[in-house]
Amino acid sequence: MRAAVWLMLLGALPGTAQVLTRASIEKALKGGRDAGQLAEEAAKRGVGFVMQADDEAALTAAGATPGLLAALKGGYRPEGPPLTQSDLLMVLRLRPPKERLSRLIESRGVEFAMSKEIGAEILAAGGDSSIVGLIALNRKEPPAPPEPEIVVPPLPGDAISFQRISPYDAATPAGVCDLRIRVDHEVEFYLRGEEITADVRRGAPPVAVDCNCSQPLPAAAVIMDVKKMRGRGQVTLIEKPSADNFFRARIHVLDGSGGADLYHLRLSWTR
């Protein structure tokens, strides 16, 4: 039972096949493997268990030499997550060799912060002041929570293609987009980066005649202006780019005169 608890807590976990286990060593000895070769392998690969009296007796019966036993005792490589408080208290109550316990704490660390109350529990379970200090030094900080994934919602409406004016340069401090579009009744236009869309509120879908831009709309705070160069209805910039709207612009066009009219909208911005 004692050895089983150690195996569970000290790293004989799935995924640690690279280190030697008691079962693999015992099987190899019974299969005729040379003890000297196994000692070399233990030094190279490490051992995934702490040698207890019953382990030593079983391996000796299988043919382990003093040299192999020494290699197994010195080759322990604990693996696994940081120790919890309950794990450590359980191990302490088993009265393990202090050297082994110290190596375990240094190798695995602990996931809890030391306090007066926890220190008193450790002392009561069989630890001493040096173990308490070692625990305090080897606390593993919990990993930072992952940054929440930012999902940028798609722009409403259908995409509108545009031409890039040469030189098309995102680094310049100012930009402009000229949109020549036939609008019937009511449409909202959206711009973000290199996207332009039209969301029809009433009437027929708009028809793009000639649209061109000198740069993508920056993902930054800008001073923005919209001018109606042509068109009979009302044009309003109702949403300016900001971090709150994922740096999109929104322009509302209302034309209640009946039928489609050609609009020329000039959007300009500076950073």
Task: Mark whether 80 and 167 lie in a shared domain.
Answer: no
- Amino acid identity of residue 191, one-letter, is L
Contact 29, 64 (CB under 8 A): yes
Task: Mark whether 127 and 163 lie in a shared domain.
Answer: no
Task: Mark whether 64 and 171 lie in a shared domain.
Answer: no
Q: Tell me whether residue 246 is in a domain.
A: yes
Task: Mark whether 116 and 223 lie in a shared domain.
Answer: no
Q: Tell me whether residue 147 is in a domain.
A: no
Q: Nearest to residue 202, comparing CAs of 184, 180, 190? A: 184
Q: What percent of the chain has pLDDT over 70?
A: 92
Residues 19 and 76: their CA atoms lie apart, in Å, by 9
Task: Name the residue with tokens 């220190």.
Answer: 119
Segments forming the whole domain that contains residue 56: 2-137
Q: Tell me whether residue 152 is in a domain.
A: no
Task: Mark whether 227 and 128 lie in a shared domain.
Answer: no
pTM: 0.52
Tokens standing for 51? Answer: 């040698």
Query: Is the pLDDT confidence value at 33 over 50?
Result: yes
What pLDDT, on a 0 to 100 scale, did the predictor assign at position 3? 47
Q: Report in angstroms the alpha-carbon separations of 224 from 165, 172, 242, 269.
A: 19, 15, 11, 4
Q: Nearest to residue 75, comparing CAs of 135, 126, 11, 129? A: 11
Cβ neighbour number for residue 21 with a 10 Å cutoff: 15
**pLDDT (tens digit per residue) in 83-114:** 889 988 988 888 888 887 887 888 788 999 99
Task: Mark whether 97 and 208 lie in a shared domain.
Answer: no
What pLDDT, on a 0 to 100 scale, did the predictor assign at position 77? 65
Task: Mark whether 80 and 162 lie in a shared domain.
Answer: no
For the ranges 37-46, 168-177, 209-218, 254-263, which has the lowest average pLDDT? 37-46
Query: Is the pLDDT confidence value at 46 over 90?
Result: no
Q: Tell me whether residue 259 is in a domain.
A: yes
Q: Tell me whether residue 153 is in a domain.
A: no
Task: Mark whether 33 and 112 lie in a shared domain.
Answer: yes
What pLDDT, on a 0 to 100 scale, did the predictor assign at position 78? 60
Task: Mark whether 125 and 13 lie in a shared domain.
Answer: yes
Confidence band, pLDDT 50/70/90 cuts, at residue 49: confident
For the ranges 90-99, 159-168, 247-256, which has the lowest average pLDDT? 90-99
What pLDDT, on a 0 to 100 scale, did the predictor assign at position 255? 96
**pLDDT (tens digit per residue) in 188-240:** 999 999 999 999 999 999 999 999 999 999 999 899 999 999 999 999 999 99
Q: Which of 137, 170, 186 is the last residue of a domain?
A: 137
Q: Higher pLDDT residue, 3 or 218?
A: 218
What pLDDT, on a 0 to 100 scale, did the predictor assign at position 79? 63
